[in-house]
């Protein structure tokens, strides 16, 4: 909600307020719930990330081998 004055003396102030109102109207917020994980859930997440890390390590090693074979 914005408030503007109809008096000519406040034209610049009113224009600035309307521009601010347009910018403020376009703001979008995403609510995010802070969640505490249980120990089993954390272990499962850790296991998933370790598998992902191992996959990336294998890809990196194969890329290094490919670069060596192609002289890069």
- Residue 59 pLDDT exceeds 90: yes
pLDDT (0 to 100) of residue 51: 96
Mean predicted confidence (pLDDT) in 25-52: 93
What's the chain's Rg over C-alpha atoms?
28
pLDDT (0 to 100) of residue 7: 84
Q: In this structure, what token pair is assigned to residue 39?
A: 């120990």
Which of 47 and 4 is assigned the larger pLDDT? 47
Determine what percent of the chain is predicted with pLDDT higher than 90: 56
- Residue 66 pLDDT exceeds 90: yes
pLDDT (0 to 100) of residue 1: 81
* CA of residue 51 relative to chain centroid, distance: 24
Show the DSSP H helices in 1-72 as ranges. Answer: 11-25, 39-69
């Amino acid at each position: 909600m914005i408030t503007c004055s109809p008096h000519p003396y406040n034209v610049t102030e009113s224009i600035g307020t309307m521009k601010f109102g347009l910018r403020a109207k376009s703001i979008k917020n995403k609510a995010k719930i802070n969640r505490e994980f249980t120990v089993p859930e954390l272990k499962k997440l850790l296991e998933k990330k370790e598998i992902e890390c191992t996959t990336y390590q294998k890809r990196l090693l194969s890329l290094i081998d490919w670069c060596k074979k192609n002289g890069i």
